[in-house]
Structure 1
Amino acid sequence: MTKQLQIRRVLLLVALLCVALAGLGYRLVDLQVLRHAELQAKAQEYTVKQILRAPRRGDIVDSRGNVLATSMFVKTVCANPSLLGNHQALVARTIAPILKLNEAEVFQKLQPKITLNPTNGLPTTNRYVRLKEKVAPETWLQVSNAMSQLKFAVDDSGLTKSQKDAQQSFYRDLRKAGVFTELMDDQLRVYQNRTLAAHVIGFVGKNLNNTNNLPGDEAIGRAGIEQTMEEKLAGTVGWRVTGVDNKRREVVAQRTQDVEPRDGFNVVLTIDSVLQHILETELAKGMEKHSPISITGVIVRPRTGEVLAMATLPVFDPNNVGKITDAHRNRVISERMEPGSTFKIVAVSGALNEGVVKLNDVIDCGQGQFSYAGRVLHDAHGGHGPLTVENVVAKSSNIGAAKIGIRLTETRLYDYMKRFGFGDETGIPLPYEQAGTVARVDKWSKVSIAQIPMGHGVDVTRLQMVMAMAAVANGGWLMKPMLVSKLEDRNGQIIAQYQPQRIRQAISENTARQLTVALKSAVSTNGTAEKASLEGYTVAGKTGTAQKIEHGTYSTTKFISSFIGFFPADNPELCISVVLDEPKGQYYGGLTAAPVFHEVAERAANYLNIKPDEKPSIAVNSSGGTINLPDARTTRLVAQRTTSNP
């Protein structure tokens, strides 16, 4: 009986052992096979760390290498409240002035917050609070030095050696790690010239999606070149995979991957900062004198389509973008308008190109009135009788342009509008460009053929108009506006070089020459743009004064005033546009925009040393002979030298 009992006990023990071994085996299979990937990942969280390494954002520079936008590495300053004990007030008093923060707010942030650990249910003190972002390295150095020199009223009498050691360790950790910076530096985008070319350069903002999973706030382009060239400017993220100790500190010997980030490329623009400054300065004077809603200007090199300057006022500071308003809009490309008389170059050039008219053909302008399709059209600059085609342009006759457009016919007028690029985006590398509106012929009203030649019934952008005038200036070729010249790496090595692009020949070279003759007449005592003329240079151009549409009808008090011109007329270096939206008082383009053009062109000619194309004036000397008088440009240069060298 005893023997049987012993056997049963042995069998029970064996059974229990088998069950235990089976359980252990299952647990091993569960840990080593079924949950291997999960547990391995958890283990790596504690022993392996991946550190992402942000690339430096590329610079934006002008055509002469002047930096317009750059990035500097900055710190994000944080604190560990669990290390501060009851010294929050002292720490706040020490670092708040350096960081230019409110001391009371810093004190509140440094207060420890007790929460329950979700893993073990034990109370824990928060170890991280962000105090300030975008802190310059030199400012952080001041904070670090101030923390290292903190002095505490310590009474260690009566303490044991181990207690003294613990106390010293506490204060050492407080000074060294109580306030710290995030492991990876952030970047601060700096626009050194503040508002200069702001609408072209654009600005950056936070990447809310944080597509690269970088710590801190990753910045991406939100407007202008910053946005359209984001991929080139941003660079490529690097990373480091390394082992860490039980305090999550890197063990250098255990690095397994170390990939350097590739910095963003520098974007070199066609913009010239000096010309940009000249343009913005003169536009500001025009803004002050005429108080328009806005004033815009563009300077283009006609032969290449290079945009040398582009400005819109009011302007903004990309260093401090604030709330987005109308001032942030680049009206040169994003705002559509009826162009008014500057659009007459389309109908007249088309008619000349088709042989429908010649410059000396006479058009009866009906003493300022013309009835067509049940509508009476009027001339804005008084009543004109018979005018040659050249004088139709010079005196900006609406009726003359309408009759030329009728001769050209609807289909051909539409064709020339499209040839000059109207109704299509120009392709400039800037966001939010509008294409304008050019309705198909089957959508025209009966009077459209008479209204469109004078710049009514069609929507364009300011950039489209200046590129159309540039096409006349360069012999008939519509150019793609060129804003980016090349891409360079951090060492100045050229990565990509961009070339001027011809889109199409809008009109023949001969037609362009003929129209230039008419446009030169416009900038004379015989034309509407006498105030755009320059001493020493022949200017060709066209004024525009367009009534704004308000509640479906043309306003009699609100106008878009403009002048677009180029010089030297027969070998143009620059084509310049100036447009005012609702100038107060005088509103004709010849009285508002043309004088601004004059000032911009005069200063630009001096800066670029453009050779005059007009002969110096002739005067009679006291002996009865003739002498050459220097042109105004030479006189100014001599005066400048005389002034600077007493």
Structure 2
Amino acid sequence: MENRRRTKRPPKREATSLKERKARLRLRLVLGRSIYALIVFGLIFRLGYIHINHGDQYAQQVLRSVSGTAKEIEAIRGNIVDRNNKVIANSIITYDVILSPYALLNQSTELQRDRTYQELALYSGQAPEQIEEIAINNPNSYYRVFLRDIPMEDKEMLEAKGLSGMYFEPSFIRNYPKGVFAAQLIGFYNAEDQGQYGIEQFYDDYLRGEVGRIYPQLQTGGIIMTQVESPINGDTIVLTIDEIIQQYVEQVMYKYIARLEPLNAAAIVMNPKTGEVYSMFSYPEYNPQSYNNLSSQLGSSKWEQMTYEEQIAQLNWAWQNYNIHNPYEPGSTFKPIMMAAAMEEGYLQSDFRMTCTGSITISGTTIRCWKTSGHGTQTIDQVIANSCNPGVITLAQRMPNSEYHDYMKWFGMGSQTGIDLPAEAAGTIHSLSSFGPIEKATTAMGQTFLLTPMQLVTAFSAVINGGYLIEPYVVSQIVRADEGVIFKNQPSVKRQVVSQETSKAITLMLEKVILQGTGGHAAVSGYRVGGKTGTAEKGFPRVRGVEIVSFIGYAPLDDPEVIALVIFDEANNSSAASAAPSAAFSEMMTYILPYLGIPSNHATYSTQVSLSTVPDLVGSDIYSAITEIGLNNLDYEIRGGGNIIADQYPPAGTQVPISYEITLYLQSNDPTSLVKVPNLIDMNIEQAQQLLGGSLTIEGATSGRIINQIPDPDVSLDRNTKIIVQTVP
């Protein structure tokens, strides 16, 4: 057997004595302490050197570092109010709920933590574990926004619970308590903290104020203190708009919009002497409170089915203010402006006569009158009353091209009016080099050039106010806290275009349009008024039936105090469209003139308008709401389906004229169960019950002929809802 080689193990060391081990340990301790002392001494020496030679430099670096985290203090955005200081837009204080995970995990007991998680979960609808996870995942954070914009009453409720590891920061949200009221005029405050469109944009620098800041400061001894620079809150913008007039204009416009279903609609009410705008309306509508969502206007289903691009296009359309952003061909409403120019230069005299055969030929081009059989021989009063195209063209051809073109510019065509609103369009007119006989003829009819509704109102005002082209404005003054009025708008005259004599003659002449011509629907009981109708085909080439219909008028005739323009663009119901602007004007002026205290021609005609206060109807059932509306001498319109009032316009507390129409927005728990109410008038109870077929029930009478019903026909209600009827034997 082969011998294996053995490996020797090292010899065992003899056990070290206890005395030796202790000695070595003492030696190590002495050495360690000596080395530590040397290190500490070196650090102290180095820190002393840095402090003496570079202390200021490093202190400033620290200060700059801390200053970089200086906190802004939000300024409160200013209010927008009407001429009577009624709030249209304001800022409401809210609070953000801030979590401090560090405080929760390190400065709170387990019981306190759990209570915070439970209470916040109960308030927010989240699970306690979700809130705990925020703290665990951010253990060193002192600042985590948990909830934004909770109301003050909720903040006070949570604060009273004494929860640990959380606190509140004040914030502000923009509030539009009147909803769609004058939306395009007001504009909105967007998510990027910017005023956009309307007053919110044009006066943004005044409204936003100046943010405050908390600055760290390095004091003697290296202590960092804070210096607070308080915010300066925004100014209050006082409009020339009158809330009551605006509400009434909107009511009238929505009434005709429901009938005509136009693509666009617009209205302006202004003082023709000063340029103060009392009302400005633009359609389609939107709500500044939910400016990027049109589901309420278009219906949730339609809105949600739109592509992103379609939604953006729809929003841009709704945000536009038709009165200043959308130039159009004014049609016959421009004719009095051209006539004033001709009269001023001596081309129009009292003995003017012309014969309308139904058309006129200019440079080989035949231009037809709307009355193809012709108007026959006419005076100038008859030309304007009949809105005769060959008549105004005959007059225009008497003027030299350059002179006619100058008057277009002097009346403001092709230039901004200067109104204090953003992105005003200037319109388009022919250049003088391209302004030939045909262009002169078509512009005399109000075609082949573009102006905005605001341009037309200011130009027409110059015709009736003594000849002065004025600058319109929508803000009367700006008020700053502790300083009072810092800006006050004053009427501004750009130039006098025609003489007072010419102005007076045309002003009186335009009454014939109401009494004998195309504007009969514009008559206002108790007042003499003047004005002009307008119809213009749209597009190039022209599309028959695609038109813009309008009326511009003023009152009182002998000394105009109010001018108003009404426009419906591409109305579906063309048969009713031509008279609608005149009729809408009449309804507006019937209320506006006495409201402004303008005396009528009848001594017995009241100049006082009775007002009623809109009741709070939200949450009521439809029957209670209708009863309450009747008790307040108001009328109503119903939108949507269901039995419960989800919203109303105007809001509760608003002062409105007697018989004002309140819009009620209904909601249903199950929209698929809605049944449309049929017309039961003149039926007996048995016939009505048979027609309803059990889908709705009848209350209020058991026999007789039905003479009244609540709600009105075509309202959608939940199945099995009652209809209240009134009968006679």
What do you get for the CA RMSD once the two structures are aligned? 3.5
Is 1:199 the equivalent of 2:184? Answer: yes
Is 1:472 the equivalent of 2:460? Answer: no
Is 1:463 the equivalent of 2:454? Answer: yes
State the match for 2:593 in structure 1. 605
Is 1:403 the equivalent of 2:403? Answer: no
Return the match for 1:111 from 127, 133, 136. Answer: 133
Partners of 2:595 and 2:608 within 8 A in 1: no
Q: Offset at 1:332?
A: 0.6
Is 1:510 the equivalent of 2:501? Answer: yes
Partners of 2:79 and 2:235 within 8 A in 1: yes
Partners of 2:428 and 2:450 within 8 A in 1: yes
CA distance in 2, matches of 1:293, 1:352: 37
State the match for 1:424 in structure 2. 415
Return the match for 1:581 from 566, 569, 576. Answer: 569
CA distance in 1, matches of 2:152, 2:48: 52
Partners of 2:260 and 2:576 within 8 A in 1: no
The 1:109–1:522 alpha-carbon spacing in structure 2 relative to 1, beyond 3 Å, is farther
Query: Could you tell me which amino acid in structure 2 is paired with residue 199 of structure 1?
Result: Q
Query: Could you tell me which amino acid in structure 1 is paired with residue 276 of structure 2?
Result: E
CA distance in 2, matches of 1:364, 1:316: 49
Partners of 1:93 and 1:103 within 8 A in 2: no
Is 1:61 the equivalent of 2:81? Answer: yes
Query: Could you tell me which amino acid in structure 1 is paired with residue 346 of structure 2?
Result: G
State the match for 1:249 in structure 2. none
Partners of 2:99 and 2:144 within 8 A in 1: yes
Q: Offset at 1:129?
A: 3.1
State the match for 1:593 in structure 2. 581
SS in 1 for 2:486: strand
State the match for 1:181 in structure 2. 168
Return the match for 1:442 from 413, 433, 443. Answer: 433
Partners of 1:340 and 1:546 within 8 A in 2: yes
CA distance in 2, matches of 1:294, 1:89: 58
CA distance in 2, matches of 1:454, 1:66: 42
Q: Deviations over 1:537-584 (max 9, x none)?
A: 1111011000011xx311102100100000001111100110001112
State the match for 1:369 in structure 2. 359
Is 1:234 the equivalent of 2:254? Answer: no
| % identical equivalent positions | 28
Query: Could you tell me which amino acid in structure 2 is paired with residue 537 of structure 1?
Result: Y
Partners of 1:194 and 1:318 within 8 A in 2: yes
The 1:314–1:110 alpha-carbon spacing in structure 2 relative to 1, beyond 3 Å, is farther
Q: Offset at 1:108?
A: 3.6
State the match for 1:248 in structure 2. none
Q: Deviations over 1:490-542 (max 9, x none)?
A: 35722222211001111111111111122111111x11000001111111101
Return the match for 2:375 from 367, 378, 384. Answer: 384
Is 1:129 the equivalent of 2:144? Answer: yes
Q: Which residues of structure 2 form unaligned runs of 5+?
A: 1-39, 294-314, 612-632, 635-657, 659-729
Q: Deviations over 1:163-197 (max 9, x none)?
A: xxxxxxxxxxxx322x3223xx2211111212212
TM-score by length of 2: 0.69
Is 1:343 the equivalent of 2:331? Answer: no
Q: Deviations over 1:266-319 (max 9, x none)?
A: 111111111111111111111011111121111000110100110112221111
Aligned length: 548
Query: Could you tell me which amino acid in structure 1 is paired with residue 562 of structure 2?
Result: L
Q: Which moved more, 1:194-203 or 1:477-486?
A: 194-203
After superposition, where does 1:256-275 map in structure 2 within 5 Å?
257-275=227-245
Partners of 1:563 and 1:593 within 8 A in 2: yes
After superposition, where does 1:74-223 map in structure 2 within 5 Å?
74-81=94-101, 83=104, 94-96=119-121, 98=123, 101-103=124-126, 108=130, 110-112=132-134, 126-145=141-160, 147-148=161-162, 175-177=163-165, 179-182=166-169, 185-207=170-192, 219-223=193-197
Query: Could you tell me which amino acid in structure 1 is paired with residue 354 of structure 2?
Result: I
Q: Which residues of structure 1 form unaligned runs of 5+?
A: 1-19, 116-122, 149-174, 208-218, 246-252, 617-629
Is 1:292 the equivalent of 2:262? Answer: yes
Q: Offset at 1:444?
A: 3.1
Query: Could you tell me which amino acid in structure 1 is paired with residue 84 of structure 2?
Result: R
The 1:608–1:114 alpha-carbon spacing in structure 2 relative to 1, beyond 3 Å, is same
SS in 2 for 1:553: coil
The 1:43–1:610 alpha-carbon spacing in structure 2 relative to 1, beyond 3 Å, is closer
Q: Offset at 1:447?
A: 1.4
Query: Could you tell me which amino acid in structure 2 is paired with residue 187 of structure 1?
Result: F
Partners of 1:89 and 1:107 within 8 A in 2: no
Partners of 1:545 and 1:587 within 8 A in 2: no
CA distance in 2, matches of 1:81, 1:34: 37
CA distance in 2, matches of 1:44, 1:419: 59
CA distance in 1, matches of 2:278, 2:236: 18
SS in 1 for 2:403: helix
State the match for 1:488 in structure 2. 479
CA distance in 2, matches of 1:88, 1:408: 88
Partners of 2:217 and 2:227 within 8 A in 1: no
State the match for 2:549 in structure 1. 561
Q: Offset at 1:425?
A: 0.7
Partners of 2:93 and 2:172 within 8 A in 1: yes
CA distance in 2, matches of 1:423, 1:452: 13
The 1:25–1:542 alpha-carbon spacing in structure 2 relative to 1, beyond 3 Å, is same
CA distance in 2, matches of 1:298, 1:49: 50
Q: Offset at 1:114?
A: 6.7
Partners of 2:67 and 2:215 within 8 A in 1: no
Partners of 2:591 and 2:609 within 8 A in 1: no
Q: Offset at 1:113?
A: 7.3
The 1:77–1:70 alpha-carbon spacing in structure 2 relative to 1, beyond 3 Å, is same
Query: Could you tell me which amino acid in structure 2 is paired with residue 111 of structure 1?
Result: E
State the match for 2:492 in structure 1. 501
CA distance in 1, matches of 2:202, 2:609: 41
Partners of 2:397 and 2:437 within 8 A in 1: no
Query: Could you tell me which amino acid in structure 1 is paired with residue 319 of structure 2?
Result: H
CA distance in 2, matches of 1:634, 1:306: 21
State the match for 2:674 in structure 1. none
The 1:361–1:235 alpha-carbon spacing in structure 2 relative to 1, beyond 3 Å, is same
Partners of 2:599 and 2:607 within 8 A in 1: no
The 1:39–1:572 alpha-carbon spacing in structure 2 relative to 1, beyond 3 Å, is same
State the match for 1:415 in structure 2. 406
Query: Could you tell me which amino acid in structure 2 is paired with residue 196 of structure 1?
Result: F
Q: Offset at 1:381?
A: 3.9
CA distance in 2, matches of 1:86, 1:126: 21
Query: Could you tell me which amino acid in structure 2 is paired with residue 497 of structure 1?
Result: K
CA distance in 1, matches of 2:218, 2:399: 80
The 1:125–1:363 alpha-carbon spacing in structure 2 relative to 1, beyond 3 Å, is same
Q: Offset at 1:45?
A: 5.2
CA distance in 2, matches of 1:431, 1:96: 45
Q: Offset at 1:261?
A: 2.5
Query: Could you tell me which amino acid in structure 2 is paired with residue 75 of structure 1?
Result: Y
Partners of 1:563 and 1:589 within 8 A in 2: no
TM-score by length of 1: 0.77
CA distance in 1, matches of 2:280, 2:579: 22
Partners of 1:49 and 1:243 within 8 A in 2: no
Return the match for 1:539 from 529, 534, 539. Answer: 529
After superposition, where does 1:40-55 map in structure 2 within 5 Å?
40-42=60-62, 50-55=70-75
SS in 1 for 2:238: strand
Partners of 2:545 and 2:574 within 8 A in 1: no
The 1:443–1:32 alpha-carbon spacing in structure 2 relative to 1, beyond 3 Å, is farther
Q: Offset at 1:89?
A: 8.6
Is 1:314 the equivalent of 2:284? Answer: yes
Q: Deviations over 1:42-84 (max 9, x none)?
A: 2575699844333322211111111111112221113234526
SS in 2 for 1:206: coil
